[in-house]
Structure formats: structure tokens, C-alpha cells
Amino acid sequence: MGRKLGNLIRLIGSYIVLIILSISALYPALWIVFGSLRPGKSLYSKHFIPDTFTLAHYKELFTSQVYMFGTWYMNTLKIAVFSMLIGVFLTLLTSYAVSRFRFKGRQTALSTLLILGMFPGFMSMIAIYLLLKEFHLLDTHMALIIVYAAGAPLGGTFIAKGFLDTIPRSLDEAARIDGASNFGIFTRVILPLSRPMITYMALTQFVGPWVDFIFARLILRTKENWTVAVGMWDMVNSNTNTNFTLFSAGAVLISIPIMVLFAFLQRLLVDGLTAGASKG
């Protein structure tokens, strides 16, 4: 009886903690959503749910002559998609090489990747800025794509390697007996079996460029080339701009692609996380 009562108390306590955490996470997000639908410019209101709803703020973002939200949105989408595609490809090639081959300097390369991945990215910003300046890539989207894609293997190689280690090497040997090359094994055997991990890497490497502000603010100068993060910052940075409901509408639009991707790929994402956690 005492054990059942203890389990019941722990269960109730767990639910209470989960409810508190859920409210803490959802309340600010819902406040922003309702704020974007609230008439006027102020987020402050006596009521959590507005008395009246309006879509004028969303319309203003795309029709205003002052803001270039549509251009910023497309710029960010282009940078995030290309960075994701190139970054995933580089990460897969790197993780496949260190997972399937034993070569001189392999452990050194893995240790180097691990150490470099521990340092925050902003520590190298000055060096990267000078390099991009020498190659005349400042204020270009190509600069962001190159840096984001090149940095992808630092954070994703060990996770992808852990997943690839779980794929039996007997499949590689069987394909090699049938005459497949290393590249053929990679494209015909490894990639189809790695779809959960590819999904996970694609999501994580899409989110980074999509929400990044610091590096984009450093590189991009002209208003036409800004990303949404830089444009939204500039929108509220001026002391004369107090239109926070407009900013809320922009924040809601920024979150839509990420929410859609997570909603449609949630199952594959969970499979990739659990499979990559066990290393062979």
C-alpha cells in the first residue's frame, strides 16, 4: 500500500512539473501570436485573448514601403536551404569516411573535429571576416552559405558517425562483392538506410542559418541583402519605432517553416535521434 501511494505521489508530482513547464513554454508563444492579431501597436493588454482580431500587421509586412520583409524572408529561405543541402552532404561524406575507413590520422582528425566543435563560433568571426573581405564576399549570401555549410561537419559528424556505425558492415561487403565501388556503396546502401539521420541533420542545419543574427549582421550591409533576423532587429532598433505588434507578426511568420518541418518530419526526427545515440 505504501509503495503504491509513493508511486501515485511521484506520478502526480511529475504531471504537475510537466504542466508548469508546458505553461511556461506556451504562454509567451501564445501571447506573441495573439499580440500579432491585436489592433494597435502595443503588446500590452488587460486581456490575454484580444477582443477583436486583425490581419493588418501581416499585410503591412508585405505591403509597406519602409520594410522589405518579403525580400528578407526569401533571402533567409535561400541561405538556409542551400546551407542545409551542402552542409548535410559534407557531413555525410565526412562521417562515412571516419566510420567505414581506417586511415592514418583518423583519430587526430576526430579529435580535431571534437575540439573545434567545443569552441563557440563567434571566436572565429574576425578571421572569417578578414578572409571573406580578401575574397570580396562581404555583403553576399554566398559568404553566409559557405560559412554555414563548412561549419556543419563540426557539429554533426559525431552524431552521424554514431548512426552509421550501427549499419552492419556486412552490407558493405555484400555490395562490394557485387562490384559496387565505395561511392556506389555510399549512395545505394548507406544513404537509403540513413534517412532518419539525414532528416535530423537537415532540420538542425536548416534552423541554424534560419535564425542566426550575429554573423548575418556582421556580413550583410545593404538592406536588400538582409535576412529576416537582421531586418526584424532593425525594425525595432529605432527609438521611433514602437510597433511591437508588427514585430510579433514577423516573429510568427519566422516560426512557420520550422514548425511545418518539425510537424511533418517528427517521426523520422525521433528515429534519427534514438538511432544515432547508440554506437557500434
pLDDT of residue 1: 61
Average pLDDT score over residue span 150-158: 82
pLDDT of residue 145: 94
pLDDT of residue 112: 79
pLDDT tens for each residue of 173-192: 888 888 888 888 888 888 88
Q: Do residues 62 and 70 touch, judged by C-beta distance below 8 A?
A: yes
Question: For residue 238, what pLDDT band results from cuts at 50, 70 and 90?
Answer: low
pLDDT of residue 280: 41
- Give me the chain's average pLDDT, please: 83
Average pLDDT score over residue span 130-158: 89
Mean pLDDT is highest, among 52-61, 84-93, 237-246, for 84-93
pLDDT of residue 114: 76
Give residue limits of the domains in the chain.
68-251
Average pLDDT score over residue span 5-22: 86
Task: Give the predicted TM-score (pTM) of the model.
Answer: 0.81
pLDDT of residue 2: 65
Average pLDDT score over residue span 221-228: 91
* C-alpha to C-alpha distances, 28 to 23, 97, 192, 252, nearest whole angstrom: 9, 44, 40, 12
Residue 47 has pLDDT above 70, yes or no: yes
Say which CATH class 68-251 falls into. Answer: mainly alpha
Look at 43-47, 144-148, 257-261 and tell me which has the smallest mean pLDDT: 43-47
Question: For residue 278, what pLDDT band results from cuts at 50, 70 and 90?
Answer: very low
